[in-house]
Amino acid sequence: MLPFASEGPGSTDVVTALFTSTSAVCVTGLVVVDTASHWTTFGEVVILGLIQLGGIGIMTFASVVGLLISRRMGLRTRLSAAAETKAVGLADLRRVVTGVVTVSLLVEALVAVVLFLRFWLGYDEPVGRAAYLGVFHSVSAFNNAGFALYADSLVRFVTDPWVCVPIALAVIFGGLGFPVWFELRREIGRPRAWSMHTKMTVSVTAVLLVAGTVFVTASEWSNPDTLGAMSAPGRIFAGFFHAVMPRTAGFNSLDVGAMNDSTLLGTIVLMFIGGGSAGTAGGIKVTTFILLFFVIYAEVRGEERVNAFDRQVDDRVIRQALTVALLSVGAVVGATLLLMSLTGLPMGPVLFEATSAFATVGLSTGITFDLPTSAELVLVGLMFLGRLGPITLVSALALRERHRHYELPEGRPIIG
């Protein structure tokens, strides 16, 4: 709210400053004012700092919670978990935090160098401005924030691989999560030795990226307002980039508001699933999504136990996944109903906006700028809930153990 943080006279109002700060710390990317034109360089640096602290803080917090959960397990369960995940103990807490910070800064630096060279050599930006653009978009991409210093996000770079590919790779890498990086660094050439978590995260991420690319490209192929005017390779490339962004980055190289309803619905599904655990991505996480798939698969086959990737899934983990998924659905649906009553807008764009906020994505059909103050405050709460809610909920469920000393009679209600 400081006067020299914004370009216009006076200071930014409380709600706008709160919305922008929450969006930055929660690495979402939704904005109610144009980042490049409203904020001064000082304001942009503040946003950049919030993105960096929010991204590293969330990854560190999630990793530490994972260690605390393993510490509270019984001896047999802890030994099994240690063998399965190759997890570190509490004595290695400093190594975990140092690893998160080191990997984050290293990836951001590499992507920033590539973007700097492209902006400098390819777009004739002055050296200082090119370096600033490279750093800002690199940090925003790796932390899955989606803040851009262009009014059209990355639409002007829709077919430029030297801008879109580094940003897409940073988004994917940031969304995998620190536990996956840690394990891949040691076992990159031995996929069979990967833990169940790493196998789930990597395989489901790959499947969603491929499926998302095919879906978006096919759905928008003939839409003149998005992919229709491009060459075939350009359409596929732009489709891939849009399929990456619901991993919860929020950059867009296509006009989201001009997309077909089918594409918007598919994007909502991808946003809700999100990325990997203990990373910068939001959503219910790919592990939750694939666990629910295996639960359905086991039930359809009539199997008593749920198995995945040559492992038997613990019943408590299944209950946690169901709890996270259903409460997340409730949060999105409840927020959508509230936003519809506050704005009078149709369900489609409101549902898209609510999912984008809860999953900390940042994509929008364009309604964010026109929302009333009450609706902006709802999105503020939704971004905060979506960023910390799933982590806090799972840790609370895992750390709270209650042993009943008796068993109740079994009941079988009719289902369906």
The pLDDT tens digits along the chain (416 residues) read 999 999 988 899 999 999 999 999 999 999 999 999 999 999 999 999 999 988 888 777 766 666 555 555 444 444 444 444 444 444 556 677 777 888 889 999 999 999 999 999 999 999 999 999 999 999 999 999 999 999 999 999 999 999 999 999 999 999 888 788 888 888 888 888 888 889 999 999 999 999 999 999 999 999 999 999 999 999 999 999 999 999 888 899 999 999 999 999 999 999 999 998 877 888 999 999 999 999 999 999 999 899 998 889 988 889 888 988 999 999 999 999 999 999 999 999 999 999 999 999 999 999 999 999 999 999 999 999 988 877 677 666 666 666 778 888 988 888 77
- What's the pLDDT at 70? 54
- What's the pLDDT at 62? 66
- What's the pLDDT at 181? 86
pTM: 0.89
- What's the pLDDT at 363? 95
- What's the pLDDT at 86? 42
Q: How many CA atoms lie within 13 A of 100 on its CB side?
A: 27
Q: Which residues have a Cβ under 8 Å from the Cβ of 157 and sit 6 or more positions away?
A: 163, 164, 253
- What's the pLDDT at 167? 97
